[in-house]
Structure 1
C-alpha cells in the first residue's frame, strides 16, 4: 500500500513534466502515447542492450510464431531491438496509471522478463489480468538476495506470481527459491549470454589453423610477452603465424612501434592487410574472423591485471585456450575450462613452453579446442524446451521443428 501510494504521487508529478513537447521518452514511460502502442501476444522486457542481446536467440525464436513487443529501460536498448525489425519502445514505469494504459493497449498473453527485474506493481497488474509471467536467465547474487530478504512482503508475492522461471546458475535458483519462488515454476537453467557463442558453427580443423596463434583483446604490456614467446617458438617452427588483436585499436601505432623495434615484419589490418606471418589486427568488429583463423588463443587481459576477457568466443571456435593468472572477471568459467583440460593457465615465464608444446602437437591442441566447445555447450544449455514452454504459455503448442533459433 505504501509503495502504491508513493508510486501514484510520483506518477502525477511526472505527468506534469511529460506534458510539454520534447518529453517523448517520458511520455513513453508513462504510456501517454497509447495510440502508438502496438498490441502483441508476448511482451518481452530487458533492462538494456546487454540483457536484450543475450536473449536475442530466444526473442528471435518467439517472434517466428507470435507477435512480439520488446521494451527496455534505456533508449539504446529500445533502438537496438527496433533495429532487429521488432516493435520496440521504452517500458512503462512501475506506476499504476502507466501500467494500466500500457496493458490496455498491448493486451499480451504472456510477459517475459530477462535476467533480474522485479517490479511489484507490474507483477500485480499482470496477475490481476490473468497474464502469465516468466523470467529467463534469472540472476540473484547473494548480496541482492540479502537485500531482498529484508523486504519479504515485497519480493515474496512477486516471485509467487511467476508461472515460469529459468535461472542462470544453480546459486541464483537456490536463492530465488529461498525468497519465495514456487517449486513448480522452475524451468531448466539457461545461461543466456552463452547462447550466441554456442550457436557459432566452428571452423573445420586445418593445418593453417594449427599453425596460427591468436592473442585476443590484448592490453599494454601483454604484446611484448606474446612476441617473446612467438619469436622463440618460431625458431623451431618456422611456419608459425601470429595475429595480435589488440583490445583498443587506438593503441595500434604503439604496438606497431613495438613490432618495428623487434625487427618483425608485419601487416596491419587498419591499412588493409590480412596476411603475413604477423598480423596486427587493430580494427573493430572482426574478432570472429580471427577466432576462426586460429587454433590456439591466448586470451588478453589475463597476463596484465585486467580481470581477463571472455573465454567463450575462442571456445565457440574450438580453439585451445591459454590464459594468464588474472581471470577474476570470469573465474568460474576459467576454472571449468581448466578442469576439463580445455584451457591452460600460463604466465610470462611459462608461455613459451606451453605454446611450443601445442604447436608441436596439433592433435593435442585440437583436443583442447573440442573440450572447450564441449564445456560451452554444456553450460549454455538447450533453449528448445524453454522456448516451447513460453510458446505454450502464450497460447500455442510447442514446435517440434524448433531449435535454438
Structure 2
C-alpha cells in the first residue's frame, strides 16, 4: 500500500472516524468538542515560525515537557506549538504551560493531505518534533514538501511494531526516508528503523529522555506534610497507578489480602483514563472504605482506599506512597512509565506485560529495583514483604534511583541533534 491508497482509504474511513468520536464522547464528553481542529478548521490565531511538537496523549506530553522547557530556554525568540490527539493530553498540555505565552496548543488534524497542509500553513513551523513513534505519512510528506525538517524524539520501535510497519513497506519506507532525525532509545531500535528504510545518517541512539526526569524537592516536602496531616506517618501506604480495565479488581483483591495482615494499610488507586474514575470508585466502594482525592477531604483512619481521580498529580501521589505498582502491566497493554516512581526512590512492582518498556524494565530488574508479579496473590505478597522488610524496600528504591542517574543525558543529546536541524 502506497500513500495514495492510504489517503483514499483514510477518506473512505471518515464515517468510522466520526462514529469512533461519537462513541468515545459518550464516556468522555470532551471528545465531542473542538472537532473542527481535527480537520484544521477554526484554528485560533497562532504565532508562526517556531517549533511544532506532537505528543499524542498524556504520557507523551509529560515526557515532552522537559524537552519543551529546554527548547523555550535555548530559543527564547521562538514560539512552540504542541499538538495532541486526546482531551486528557490537551488538558495536561494546557496545565503544564498555562503560564508560558510562547506555548500554543491545538489538536493535531487527521492525517489527510489537505488538513495537514492547512495546519502547516497556519503554524508555519521551522522544525517539527514528534514524540516517540506517532508517525503520520501525510503530515511528514507535507513537511518535506515545505522543507520543514522532521525529528522523531525519544523514538521506540518494538519488534512487533517493526513487523507491522514492514508489512506496508511501500508506505513506511518513503515516510522514514523523509525524516531528518530519528533519535532512538536503544541500538536495537535504531537497527529496526534502518531496516525499515530510514537513512542511516539520520538515526542516532540518544537514550530515553524519561531518565532525565527531575523531581522538585518541594514535592517530597508537600507529600510529607500531607501524610502528617492524615496522621499516616507510620501507616503503610502503597499506590497502584495508571491502571486499566481488568486490573482494578485484581489490585483490590490484593489489597483485601494485605489488610488481613496490615489492617491499617492504605491503597492509592489511580486509573489511567478519567472516563473510568466513576466506575472504579463504585467498584472500590463495594469492597473497601473509599474516598475520592477530588473531594478534598482528609484521609482518616477508616479510609482503606483513596481513589486518585485528579489530573496532573501522579508524581505527587507516587511521593505519598511507600511502594509503587505501575499498571497497564497485569493486562496486555504494555505497561507505563516505571521510571517515575524510581525517580522518587520507591520500590517498583509491575505485572509481566511490559513490552512498551522492555529495555528500561530490564535495567531496573537487573539492578534489583523492579519486581514483577502475575496475580493478586503475588502482588499482595510482594507489598507485604516490602512493608515488613523496610531494608529491602530501601535497597530497591536506592537501586532504581541509581539506574536513573546512570542513564541521564539523553535530553542534552536530543537537543544537540535538534540544534543541527536549524
Report the TM-score when normalising by structure 2.
Answer: 0.67
2:275 aligns with none
1:337 aligns with 364
Once the two structures are superposed, residues 155-193 of structure 1 have per-residue CA deviations (whole angstroms, 9 ceiling, x without a partner) of 22322232211124444322111012222212333445x
- Give the whole-Å Cα distance in 2 for the aligned partners of 1:251 and 1:356: 23
Question: Is 2:137 aligned against 1:125?
Answer: no
| 2:203 equivalent among 176, 186, 193 | 186
Q: How does 1:206-355 map to 2 (within 5 A)?
A: 212-217=236-241, 219-220=248-249, 222-223=251-252, 225-229=254-258, 231-232=260-261, 242-247=265-270, 248-256=280-288, 272-274=297-299, 276=301, 279-285=304-310, 288-297=315-324, 311-322=338-349, 326-329=351-354, 332=358, 334-345=361-372
Once the two structures are superposed, residues 207-264 of structure 1 have per-residue CA deviations (whole angstroms, 9 ceiling, x without a partner) of 9878634153573354454455455468xxxxxx62222353333432336xxxxxxx
1:397 aligns with none
Report the TM-score when normalising by structure 1.
Answer: 0.69
On the 8 A contact 1:94/1:122 being kept in 2, the answer is: yes
Aligned length: 369
| 1:138 equivalent among 136, 155, 179 | 155
- Give the whole-Å Cα distance in 2 for the aligned partners of 1:63 and 1:223: 43
RMSD: 4.7
1:87 aligns with 104
Note closer, same or farther for the CA distance 1:305–1:222 as it changes in structure 2 (3 Å cut): farther
| Structure 2: runs of 5 or more not aligned | 15-31, 242-246, 271-279
Q: CA deviation at 1:32?
A: 5.8
- Give the whole-Å Cα distance in 2 for the aligned partners of 1:302 and 1:30: 34
Q: CA deviation at 1:337?
A: 3.0
- Give the whole-Å Cα distance in 2 for the aligned partners of 1:97 and 1:252: 47
| 2:82 equivalent among 70, 85, 101 | 70
Q: Between 207-216 and 171-180, report the one with greater CA deviation.
A: 207-216
Once the two structures are superposed, residues 81-139 of structure 1 have per-residue CA deviations (whole angstroms, 9 ceiling, x without a partner) of 45534322343555554444444443322111222244444434333433222111223
Which is higher, the Rg of structure 1 or of structure 2? 1
| 2:174 equivalent among 148, 153, 157 | 157
On the 8 A contact 2:52/2:128 being kept in 1, the answer is: yes
| Structure 1: runs of 5 or more not aligned | 15-22, 235-240, 258-265, 395-405
- Give the whole-Å Cα distance in 2 for the aligned partners of 1:142 and 1:209: 45
On the 8 A contact 2:352/2:372 being kept in 1, the answer is: no
Note closer, same or farther for the CA distance 1:275–1:298 as it changes in structure 2 (3 Å cut): farther
2:277 aligns with none
On the 8 A contact 2:326/2:336 being kept in 1, the answer is: yes
On the 8 A contact 2:291/2:307 being kept in 1, the answer is: no
Note closer, same or farther for the CA distance 1:158–1:277 as it changes in structure 2 (3 Å cut): same
